[in-house]
């Protein structure tokens, strides 16, 4: 036992704080834009503290698990954390992240912040995080493929049109349909695009109203079924993620792909990338496809909010640091370097962004954020998302006649604690 005790001490010492006894604020980040975030951490370190990056795993669910495990253990060394907006209510409800006092809150949620992202950090009349960047999906496509199939991309398109066009032109349609959070993102946008929602009255927690067994749910299921049955489905449809459909863009005839804003920077020719200017010129973008004819599409929205751990010793340092890493300048760097779009209007208007992105793309991003369909805002979001993923996966088994009804029954049972997830 003495040796074991010695080991604890050794383990503790190894992780002790940085040079010169300055306190270290640990900032848990998700891997997107890692280099820029590292730079931001250095820039926002002050004479009073150093901000140190701690990397979270890939995937929203794993990130949540990691953070929640630390916070459930009342960890005082979790100072800052990058949170997927959908987990803000859960973390706030559990008392894991600190509520921002008015003096700080007014700095991170002011008039300059777009309404969509601003809403993600509010819970129970309080502000619980600082919006850092806002993500949305658009329809990326190979112009030559759309031309070949004769699809007019200047007009709003429906999913059915996109699927048919891809099949006709010998191309594919890239989506995210693995059993993970981004599949929930897709389903949520499809349902919202048909004028419905998955759940409502989410303030009621476990007693929320489950709405997915509806015409909108059926319309959404029909889209997924149509893609799964089409030749345009990518071979790895059932495990497709954001990254897996990227190579299809310049493979053979190319693809249509709904994906986040980072895609533009991904294909932009530059150091260490294989893409040519000619290929890049062939890359088109358009508003997220409609679920049903005649109804506006509701693109997915996401992004990252920076929250402050509730168990840290000096909350004010945390608020200050979180404010710094999410200010306009920080957002500009994230957008220009990594294609992670700002949550502040002024940044969209800045010269740097106008240099980095075509004007039409910037306005498309803003339009998409405004029209976006947020995912349910619930302290039990994790259960909702998990239940939907479970009953809608695999996409090949989705059937409009059964899947929405089955998933509604299952989700209700899960919320009541009567079914295993």
Site residues for another protein per CB under 8 A = 3-5, 7-8, 10-12, 14-15, 26, 30-32, 34, 38, 54-55, 57-58, 61-62, 65-66, 68-70, 72-75, 77, 90, 93-94, 178-179, 235-239, 241-244, 246-247, 272, 274, 379, 382-383, 386, 393-394, 396, 417-421
Strand stretches in 169-228, DSSP E = 172-174, 199-200, 209-210
Q: Which is nearer to another protein, 92 or 157 (CB)?
A: 92
Q: Which is nearer to another protein, 366 or 385 (CB)?
A: 385
Q: How far is the CB of 36 from another protein (least distance, A)?
A: 12
Q: How far is the CB of 216 from another protein (least distance, A)?
A: 26
Q: How far is the CB of 369 from another protein (least distance, A)?
A: 21
Q: HSE of 294 in the Cβ direction (CA atoms, 13 Å)?
A: 0
Q: Which is nearer to another protein, 191 or 228 (CB)?
A: 228
Q: How far is the CB of 190 from another protein (least distance, A)?
A: 20
Q: Which is nearer to another protein, 107 or 179 (CB)?
A: 179
Per the CB < 8 A criterion, the answer to whether 212 and 407 are in contact is: yes
Comparing CA positions, the residue from 406, 360, 326, 270 lying closest to residue 127 is 326
Q: Which is nearer to another protein, 143 or 179 (CB)?
A: 179
Q: How far is the CB of 326 from another protein (least distance, A)?
A: 19
Per the CB < 8 A criterion, the answer to whether 171 and 254 are in contact is: yes
Q: Residues 21-46, buried b or exposed e (16+ Cβ, 10 A)?
A: eeebbbbbbbebbeebbbbbbeebbe
> Residue 65 class from Cβ within 10 Å (0-12 exposed, 13-18 middle, 19+ buried)?
middle
Q: How many CB atoms lie within 10 A of CB 354?
A: 12
Q: Which is nearer to another protein, 158 or 333 (CB)?
A: 333
Q: How far is the CB of 228 from another protein (least distance, A)?
A: 11
Q: Which is nearer to another protein, 5 or 351 (CB)?
A: 5
Q: Which is nearer to another protein, 262 or 328 (CB)?
A: 262
Per the CB < 8 A criterion, the answer to whether 395 and 235 are in contact is: no
Query: In angstroms, what CA-CA distances link 2 with 9, 11, 12, 14, 373?
Result: 11, 14, 15, 18, 57
What are 125's two structure tokens? 């009349």
Q: Report the Cα–Cα distance between both ends of the chain, in Å, rounded.
A: 40
Per the CB < 8 A criterion, the answer to whether 350 and 332 are in contact is: yes
What are 347's two structure tokens? 């940044």
Q: How far is the CB of 273 from another protein (least distance, A)?
A: 8
Q: Which is nearer to another protein, 34 or 106 (CB)?
A: 34
d(CA 174, CA 158): 15
Q: How far is the CB of 43 from another protein (least distance, A)?
A: 16
Please give the torsion angle defined by the CA atoms of residues 143, 186, 269 and 141, in that order, rounded to the nearest 10 degrees.
0
Q: How far is the CB of 293 from another protein (least distance, A)?
A: 31
Comparing CA positions, the residue from 107, 111, 277, 259 lying closest to residue 174 is 259
């Amino acid at each position: 036992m003495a040796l074991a005790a010695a080991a604890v001490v050794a383990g503790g010492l190894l992780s002790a704080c940085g040079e010169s006894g300055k306190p270290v604020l640990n900032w848990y980040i998700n891997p997107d834009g890692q280099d820029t975030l590292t730079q931001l951490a250095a820039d926002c370190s002050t004479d009073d503290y150093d901000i140190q990056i701690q990397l979270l795993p890939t995937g929203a669910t794993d990130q949540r698990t990691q953070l929640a495990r630390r916070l459930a253990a009342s960890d005082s060394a979790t100072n800052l954390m990058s949170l997927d907006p959908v987990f803000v209510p859960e973390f706030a409800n559990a008392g894991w992240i600190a509520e921002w006092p008015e003096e700080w809150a007014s700095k991170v949620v002011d008039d300059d912040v777009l309404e969509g992202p601003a809403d993600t950090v509010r819970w129970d009349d309080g502000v619980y995080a600082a919006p850092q960047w806002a993500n949305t999906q658009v329809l990326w496509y190979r112009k030559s493929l759309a031309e070949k199939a004769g699809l007019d991309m200047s007009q709003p398109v429906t999913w059915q049109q996109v699927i048919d066009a891809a099949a006709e032109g010998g191309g594919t349609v890239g989506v995210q349909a693995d059993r993970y959070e981004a599949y929930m993102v897709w389903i949520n946008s499809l349902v919202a695009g048909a004028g419905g929602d998955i759940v409502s009255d989410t303030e009621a927690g476990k007693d929320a109203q489950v709405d997915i067994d509806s015409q909108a749910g059926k319309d959404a299921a029909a889209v997924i079924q149509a893609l799964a049955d089409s030749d345009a489905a990518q071979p790895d449809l059932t495990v497709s993620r954001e990254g897996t459909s990227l190579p299809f863009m310049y493979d053979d005839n190319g693809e249509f792909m709904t994906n986040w804003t980072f895609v533009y920077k991904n294909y932009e020719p530059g150091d260490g990338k294989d893409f040519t200017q000619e290929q890049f010129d062939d890359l088109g973008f358009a508003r997220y496809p409609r679920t049903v004819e005649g109804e506006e599409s509701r693109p997915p929205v996401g992004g990252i909010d920076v929250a402050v751990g509730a168990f840290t010793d000096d909350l004010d340092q945390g608020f200050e640091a979180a404010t710094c890493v999410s200010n306009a300048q920080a957002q500009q760097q994230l957008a220009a370097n990594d294609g992670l779009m700002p949550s502040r209007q002024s940044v969209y208007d800045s010269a740097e962004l106008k240099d980095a992105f075509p004007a039409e793309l910037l306005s498309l991003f803003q339009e998409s954020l405004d029209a976006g369909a947020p995912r349910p805002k619930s302290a039990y979001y994790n259960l909702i998302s998990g239940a939907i993923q479970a009953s809608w996966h695999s996409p090949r088994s989705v059937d409009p006649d059964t899947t929405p009804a089955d998933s509604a029954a299952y989700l209700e049972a899960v919320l009541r604690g009567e079914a295993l997830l």
